[in-house]
Chains A and B, each alone.
Chain A
Amino acid sequence: MTEPRPIIIRNANLVDPASGRQEHGHLIVVAGLIADLGPGIDVSVPPKGVRVIDAGGMTLAPGLIDLRAFVGEPGAEHRETLASAGRAAAAGGVTTVVCMPDTDPPVDDPAVVDFLIRRARDTAAVRMLPAAALTKGLHGAEMTEIGLLQAAGAAYFTDGAKALADPLVMRRALTYARDFDALIVQHVEEPRLAGGVMNEGELASRLGLPGIPREAETLMLERDLRLVRLTRGRYHAAMISCADSVDIMRAAKKAGLPVTCGVSINSLALNENDIGPYRTFLKLSPPLRHEDDRMAVVAGLAEGVIDVIVSDHDPQDVETKRQTFAESANGAIGLQTMLSVGLRLVHSGQIELVPLLRAMSTRPAEILGLPQGRLQVGAPADLILFDPEEPYVLDPASLHSICKNTPFDEARLQGVVHMTMVGGRVVHEA
């Protein structure tokens, strides 16, 4: 691939969530890296061959890093491919996507990791990092080749949409992974308590649907944290959804455990009432909880107890969603909308812009040890230029994902990404 030509982005609102710096200025990209930035640099006479982009005062920030997206390749290309997910990500300002190992075959073999990395390089507009299965076949019984998979390029280890329920397997995996400094990511849900289809409570009772108690989450989270204390393995709770989990994570961090956690963009923006008359696009795992829980996870995010926001992008088609609520699959797409849905919290005064962007770029980069996710000299030029105010109504036809199962169809949103750059190459312009 030829080296991209240098680019000057001038007249931008530079927002670096890593340092917290926000200032008007310019940014220069050379050889795919940020070469210089700030208000003082002289961009009045650009050298020949340099592309100049006038930002018109829009916000320039690091591209988003999403630690959790289901893509479907290999095995479910009718739902999503690396290419279609990449287009959705680019349009949504996501420049690095960690794809889940719940594929067919699952990502439990170094050859599959290698295939995904090559396939993504050839077909996807953004960086796609495969997460590897934590157990063979995602069956929850035997750990995968953690060392070899990591050497092949696996971003972290998880059984994806499934929780690793067996405490002995989890203990051994945490212990073994520590030798490789590998990160273990858990879907925190005790499967035996998670037989329901929505949050347990009055609303589920009124709808006649079986509920999932918050304790399905807190029980698994507390168990895992005990095992982390025993093993000192690096552990990340993929998504927490309730107030109690925020308290549990706060205490674990205070105790110095090597633990982090995420929250789904849906759990930040929606609550169980949004399910309304059995809307299957809002059937999610973890389920949408009570408004009190939503406010608690927003506060936990602002406080820094919750480290990252994930899209939990999960394309589901008509076959799996045009069902009765109990029989439909979990999941919603989110790559293309996570920024504007997150900005909804900013516009309504629930969180500041910098902590929002930090949880969508800097923190996930730190957790994975990636150099991107910051506006700093020498960092990869994974950048987004967006107007946080610009309103739009989400038209499902404008979504690049093959599946259109968004909870936000026809929603009024604000925040349009006008340019996305990955490694100095512009991959999306609008």
Chain B
Amino acid sequence: MSTPPVFPHRHLLGIEGLSPADITTLLDMADRAVEVSRLVEKKKTTLRGRTQINLFFESSTRTQSSFELAGKRLGADVMNMSVASSSIKKGETLIDTAMTLNAMRPDLIVVRHHAAGAVQLLARKVDCSVINAGDGAHEHPTQALLDALTIRRNKGDIRGLVVAICGDILHSRVARSNIILLNALGAEVRAIGPTTLLPAGLDRMGCKVFTSMREGLRGADIVMMLRLQRERMNGSFVPSVKEYFHFYGLDAEKLAHAKPDALVMHPGPMNRGVEIASDIADGAQSLIREQVEMGVAVRMAVLEALASNLPNG
């Protein structure tokens, strides 16, 4: 007699499509992974004999090393493949690379790509489980999960919390995944930014939209800052770094509009003095370093959940 799978999905391509129960399952597993990671002996054997390939078409330090550590702590053989996007012919190589890797019979492939939908495309071509580590401006599900885990461990429950996501939402996969996840778990989600950095139809995606930090942060429990890419700072989307920081950079004055016990998050890497002041990033209300620790735990949980559905799992 077989029991139904704990996590009924073959891939993790996005938060979209996950039920609240799926999300909670992953967060509960991640809580247990945090305990493992805090032991001296961090090694588990859940993924012994399994092969995990990290295929990164876009450079990443933190996400890639986080997935690598997570796989290794679970006993998998982890291989990193960084494909500098300048040296490949885009797209065609994505599928060709996928087919080539598939022939090596990996069990799990972790993919980051600069184009939205690229990970779905790849998942259709391989036989193993695929984890989206960020596709263009579409989704970054493990980031949203680690953010949720961090919030849950600090606030107890996500339901009813007011979460303000601030900055460049237009180009942010982190924002999209977070908006979907936080709505699924019953938070009130706000989006704050200059309108040039807000996607069309955002108000219909489960957000209250604000263009003023003061108004948007009022009564917020969580302030989630987003990175502003350098090429978008000088006249294309916002006039200058100076102006952006003045109106949207998180400093003590703006943070004072949120609840006194509000917590500050950032997916990294941070631009200090652009979207966040240094003293806030390093201050008592900041969860930024804890987010990194939770990143490893969440990725362990995701790998374990998917591996339990693999053949001979």
Contacts and interface: CB of A to CB of B under 8 A. Distances in A.
**Is the pairing of A and B real?**
yes
Contact of A323 (B90, B120, B135, B201): B90
Interface residues of A, number: 22
Interface string B161-205: 000000000000100100000000000000000000001111011
Nearest to B93: A323
A202 B91 contact: no
Contacts of A211: 200
B116 A324 contact: yes
A108 B90 CA distance: 32
Contacts of B137: 208-210
Contacts of B176: 206, 208
B138 interface: yes
A208 B201 contact: no
B138 A327 contact: no
B95 interface: yes
A207 B138 contact: yes
Contacts of B120: 277-278
B116 A208 contact: yes
Contacts of B91: 322-324, 327-328
Contacts of B118: 324
B113 interface: yes
A205 B200 contact: yes
Given A322-B92, A323-B90, A202 B205 contact: yes
B247 to A, nearest CB: 23
A209 B114 CA distance: 11
Interface in B265-310: none
A53 interface: no
B205 A205 contact: yes
Contact of A325 (B90, B115, B199): B115
Contacts of A324: 90-91, 94, 113, 115-118, 121, 136
A319 B137 CA distance: 24
A200 interface: yes
B201 A202 contact: yes
A199 to B, nearest CB: 10
Nearest to B121: A324
Nearest to A325: B117
A211 B137 CA distance: 12
Interface in A197-217: 200-211
Contacts of A328: 91
Interface in B203-217: 204-205
Contacts of B221: none
Nearest to A324: B115
A326 interface: yes
A207 B16 CA distance: 10
A325 B90 CA distance: 12
B200 A326 contact: no
A253 to B, nearest CB: 31
A331 to B, nearest CB: 16
Interface string A237-279: 0000000000000000000000000000000000000000110
Contacts of A204: 199-200
Interface string B76-94: 0000000000000011101
A328 B138 CA distance: 17
Interface in A304-339: 319, 322-328
Nearest to A211: B200
Interface string B95-129: 10000000000000000010111101100000000
B305 to A, nearest CB: 22
Contacts of B117: 207-209, 277-278, 324-326
B68 interface: no
Contacts of A326: 115-117, 136
Contacts of B173: 208
Contacts of A278: 116-117, 120-121
A325 B116 contact: yes
Nearest to A323: B91
A324 B91 CA distance: 6
B199 A205 contact: yes
Nearest to B118: A324
Contact of B115 (A200, A205, A327): A327
Given A209-B116, A209-B137, A201 B201 contact: yes
A201 B139 CA distance: 17
B201 to A, nearest CB: 3
Contacts of A327: 90-91, 115
Contacts of A202: 200-201, 204-205
Interface of A: 200-211, 277-278, 319, 322-328
24 contacts: A201-B200, A201-B201, A202-B201, A202-B205, A203-B201, A204-B200, A205-B199, A205-B200, A205-B201, A206-B176, A207-B117, A208-B116, A208-B117, A208-B135, A208-B173, A209-B117, A209-B136, A278-B117, A324-B91, A324-B115, A324-B116, A324-B118, A324-B121, A328-B91
Given A201-B200, A319-B92, A324-B116, 7 more contacts: A203-B201, A206-B176, A209-B136, A322-B92, A323-B91, A324-B90, A326-B117
